Structure 1
Amino acid sequence: MLNYRQLHYFWVVARTGSIVRACEQLNLTAQTISGQISLLEDSLGVDLFQRVGRQLELTEAGRLALPYAEQMFQLGHELESLLRSQPGEQHTLFRIGVADVVPKSIVYRLIAPTMQLNEPIRITCREDKLERLLADLAIQRLDMVVSDSPMPPHLDIRGHSQKLGECGVSFFATEAVEQRLAGDFPANLDNAPLLIPGQDTVVRGRLMRWFAEHKLRPRIIGEFDDSALMQAFGRSGSGVFVAPSVIASEVQAQYGVRLIGQTDAVSESFYAITVERKVSHPGVVAITEAARSKLFSD
């Protein structure tokens, strides 16, 4: 059986970057920590660290082990906090996975209604690639995954997708960029400098088809999986960028850009993926109801 104390020493050394700093944090001697890590390596049959000059670096096995250790001790901390709380102060834990391609503003507006529940809820959010999040959902490390696509049919994972809503897309640019565009929308996108969502996003393919249908050939100067980073480049005047129309007013106010056009012919959809077909978690219920009745009601 895995020795969790030894694993904890490995985790602290990996996080701090050296045995010396781990000694300061754990209030233990270097001999104790290095000895326990050696016992862990012997029991696993692999080396977790290697020396490169005077530096201690993770081996390939160590790099594989570290994210698992991170999750284990994070869950342990959450469990300790939950059990130490007084009976009248206990919160319902709501563990949300967010696919990294979903715009952060959409995520916030989806999750915000859970803060208004009468029943106190403690939220933990983790952003990652969809397939890794779904793997954690399958073993109940997460209660829900928010994605821009439903459950992929090729994955051998039990899960159910609930469509939260959909909306068209809007195009934004700074005033300086807008003044360099010729003609009316959407013709003004032809040969325009364009910042576009990355290959992993569903909307990317829909945009490219829409451009082809309208015989538009914008100059793609940047591709971004992270919508916030794309918007930051757009705010700097690098080019035209896109965002869901449902947050158009927020994008204009936050980034100081102008709305140059929008279309419903290209749509973005958002889903809540859960293990249960019939949702019972109060947080999931709050998100689905608010999304359908308010956020995407128009």
Structure 2
Amino acid sequence: MAWINYHHLYYFYLIAREGSMAKAARRLRLSQSTLSIQLRQLEELMGQKLFDRSKQNLMLTGTGRVVYDYASEIFRLGNEMLEAVKSGKGAGPLRVNLGILDSIPKSIAHELVIAAYAIDDCFVSVMEAGSEELLGDLKSHRLDLVLTNSHAPLTSKSGLFSRCVADLPVVVYGSKKYAPLRKNFPDSINGQPFILPSFHSKLRHDLEHLFKRNRLTPRVIGESQEIELDKRLALSGHALIAMSSYRTEPFVEDGKLIKIGVFEALREQIWLTGVKMHVVNPIAAQLLETFSLVEHA
């Protein structure tokens, strides 16, 4: 009976995931020649080539794709096993790893963390990043849940499932000097300075579509993925901003930043996404089932 060398399998898995021998070698801090030897030994064990080296780019063969799928599951289960052992009740509070899209308002992220603490004694770790990075970490079980503003792409192999936890109106805010724009909104924003979310944000694309559909022509002077910066620029009077209305910050509540108008045809949804696991994190499972946000005026 042939035994698999799991070091060789992991090297193959990383080469396939990184897309090149050079990138995998840098990540593993090994020479390309060493990796090539290890890969050749794995191919000899399999009795078939795993990569098509006749093409300009390193491409998986049919057998390579099958091996890669199995390797992905093997190492995913390994990570899950380690996390399950580390988060065992006997070792202390259960650990919950949350991923938060960097453009999600901090008030919403705060609600998710508080909800986790309300379920049971736990240690909460929060990571902020872009959607692609967060979903990648979720699939590899480095995260238990991810909070984003879009539904996760679902495939038969992804194991991901999402639930909408909020459906929020999108509001235009500005400093007090923009109060006259409340009249004849939204046409009143034509020609006015406006800061949009960055291009990777779903809200950015929704706003641009709304502007085009309604022939609105605000003067876009910048873009940002940091909501706190947007609000401070609006507070200083430099521009208008658009964001969901959930739990407005104190400087909105005290009147320093005012509501100019609501885009009635536009909503921002917040989605909580989990991934199928053999060992279920009970706090993450309950959050995915019950967590929701109630809109505040």
- Shorter-chain TM-score above 0.5: yes
Give the 5 Å matches for 1:114-153.
114-117=116-119, 119-153=120-154
Q: What residue is the counterpart of 1:13 in the other structure?
A: none
Give 1:105 deviation, angstroms: 2.1
The RMSD of aligned alpha carbons is 3.6
Cα distance in 1 for partners of 2:206, 2:132 equals 21
**Which deviates more, 99-108 or 138-147?**
99-108
Cα distance in 1 for partners of 2:205, 2:156 equals 21
Give identity over the alignment, percent.
21
| Cα shift readout 1:3-31 (whole Å, capped 9, x = no counterpart) | xxxxxxxxxxxxxxxxxxxxxxxxxxxxx
Q: What residue is the counterpart of 2:30 in the other structure?
A: 44
Asked if 2 retains the 8 angstrom alpha-carbon contact of 1:160 and 1:274, the reply is yes
Give 1:100 deviation, angstroms: 1.7
Give 1:215 deviation, angstroms: 2.1
Cα distance in 2 for partners of 1:285, 1:178 equals 43
Gaps of at least 5 residues in structure 2 are 1-5, 8-25, 33-78
Asked if 2 retains the 8 angstrom alpha-carbon contact of 1:167 and 1:269, the reply is yes
Asked if 2 retains the 8 angstrom alpha-carbon contact of 1:111 and 1:287, the reply is no
Asked if 2 retains the 8 angstrom alpha-carbon contact of 1:160 and 1:277, the reply is no
Give 1:250 deviation, angstroms: 5.2
Aligned residues: 223
Q: Which amino acid aligns with 1:44?
A: L
Q: Which amino acid aligns with 2:30?
A: L
| Cα shift readout 1:51-104 (whole Å, capped 9, x = no counterpart) | xxxxxxxxxxxxxxxxxxxxxxxx9xx98xx68x994x8211000111222222
- Asked if 1:264 is matched to 2:250, the reply is no
Q: 1:98 to 1:182 in 2, by over 3 A?
A: closer
Q: 1:41 to 1:281 in 2, by over 3 A?
A: closer
Q: What residue is the counterpart of 1:187 in the other structure?
A: 187
Give 1:145 deviation, angstroms: 0.9
Cα distance in 2 for partners of 1:249, 1:130 equals 24
Q: 1:135 to 1:41 in 2, by over 3 A?
A: closer
Give 1:281 deviation, angstroms: 2.7
Q: What residue is the counterpart of 2:114 in the other structure?
A: 112
Q: Which amino acid aligns with 1:272?
A: L
Q: 1:109 to 1:287 in 2, by over 3 A?
A: farther
Q: What residue is the counterpart of 1:289 in the other structure?
A: 290
TM-score, structure 1 length as denominator?
0.64
Give the 5 Å matches for 1:199-238.
199-238=199-238
**Which deviates more, 145-154 or 225-234?**
145-154
Q: 1:221 to 1:154 in 2, by over 3 A?
A: farther
Q: Which amino acid aligns with 2:104?
A: V
